[in-house]
Amino acid sequence: MPLRTPVVIVVNALRDQILSGSYKTGDWLPSERSLAEGFGVDRGVIRVAIQQLVQSGLIVRQPHCRPIIGPVPPVDASPDSTETEIAVVEAEPETPRQHSNFIALLMWHGDPTFEQAQTSQQRIFWGMNQALGQHGYHGVFLDLGDGVSIELENADREAMELRYILDHGFGGAIFYPYAYRHNRELVEEVSRQMPLVTIDRQVEWADTDHVGVDNYQAMFDLVSSLIDAGHRRIAYLTKIETIRAVHDRHRGYVDAITKADLEEIVLCMPSRLKQPKWAGVYAVFNLPKEERPTAAVVFNDYSAVALANRLETLGLSVPDDVAITGFDNIATQLSNGVGLTTVAQPYEEIGRKAVEVLLSRLHNPSLPKQYIELPAQLIVRESSSAPAP
């Protein structure tokens, strides 16, 4: 008798409801959350089940759109026809892992209220799916929850989804690790079973393929553009994190400042933006006009927007009093409507390149591990104008 996993049970139940007319062609499918609660399963199970029904044509899904019920095929008069189709679906979990066409993307879904359009995560998934489709594979988004939380909670969520990937025979995984100091053994276990590519950051001490951006060169170019515009007192605001992206951005700042024979001004931002630990930042930007920085380079866009809001409470405006730059291009403007100068990461290309690395590993597991850095693009907007005379 075929193995009835939670995915198979959900697939068959939804299929029966569609064929019986409970769901009609063109109807929206209920949300993943409500389906998960109704079936008493994890949302990851619902995602995989929906993806299988998309493959069968019973559900239609367009990028960034909620799934709808597709055209229902005519019912075969043969009494065994339905059982035959269900048996095919049920037998799929027994397919060897290396032959699975489902590739997991494990990451947070992003903050659409902040990013104002498609999130960077959605763009990565779009690029990933575009590349997978060209080779007969399909992406499954395994969401890490409603938001990035404290480190240990992130670690627990990531461990749960990594075990889910192991238990359900995925063909490979692309993983953005937020809790990068945890789950090393589990990540390595997954990478032994299937190709696994980390993006943006790596799990500490885990030997995996990786795709990111050239953070060093991007930050060097960004700071150099401020120097070329006439800024001579440029502060760098960062967080203390033991990941290569943070270190490379800091090195890019230091080398650009050193090359111009300027003085480094490095400030540490609060670990969480809601914490009232801005004393050091306030002290520097409360200096007399001839001593305070004329520009602030912030290590990401979220923190750049937060800094601009804090400076406003000090009576400083952007860019008239202080120029501000971010990194990532997930925010196009500050709260005062001024366009934010930043660095655009090639999110779609990250997804495509991660698939390329994953498929090369799938076809040749003995390849040496790859570490790929893609170029990023400087986007100059109003927030980084030249300093006042």
List, for residues 43-95, the tens digit of each pLDDT value: 888 888 888 888 777 887 765 566 788 776 554 434 343 333 333 334 344 33
Question: Is the pTM value of this prediction over 0.85?
Answer: no
pLDDT score for 25: 77
pLDDT score for 267: 93
List, for residues 20-34, the tens digit of each pLDDT value: 777 777 777 888 887
Whether the upstream peptide bond of residue 319 has omega within 30° of 0, thus cis, is: yes
pLDDT score for 4: 54
Enumerate residues 6+ apart whose C-beta is below 8 A from 323: 226, 229, 231, 294, 295, 296, 341, 383, 384, 385, 387
For the chain, domain boundaries: 6-94, 97-212+347-374, 215-345+379-384
List, for residues 326-356, the tens digit of each pLDDT value: 999 998 899 999 999 999 999 999 999 999 9
Give the range with max mean pLDDT: 50-54, 69-73, 104-108, 295-299.
295-299
List, for residues 128-181, the tens digit of each pLDDT value: 999 999 998 989 888 876 666 677 888 888 999 999 998 888 999 999 998 888
pLDDT score for 167: 87
pLDDT score for 18: 81
pLDDT score for 93: 42
Average pLDDT over residues 284-291: 94
The one-character DSSP state at 245 is H
CATH superfamily ID and name for 97-212+347-374: Response regulator (3.40.50.2300)
**189 burial level (CB within 10 Å; 0-12, 13-18, 19+):** middle
Residue 261 has pLDDT above 50, yes or no: yes
CATH among 3.30.1360.30, 3.40.50.11540, 3.40.50.300, 3.40.50.2300 for 215-345+379-384? 3.40.50.2300
CB 88 within 8 A of CB 11: no
Percent of the chain residues topping a pLDDT of 70 = 85
* Domain 215-345+379-384 in the same topology as domain 97-212+347-374: yes
Enumerate residues 6+ apart whose C-beta is below 8 A from 136: 101
pLDDT score for 113: 66
pLDDT score for 12: 82
The upper half-sphere exposure of residue 174, i.e. CA atoms within 13 Å in the direction of its Cβ, equals: 30
**Considering the chain, what is the average pLDDT of its residues?**
84
Q: Given CATH 3.20.20.70, say whether it is the number of domain 6-94.
A: no
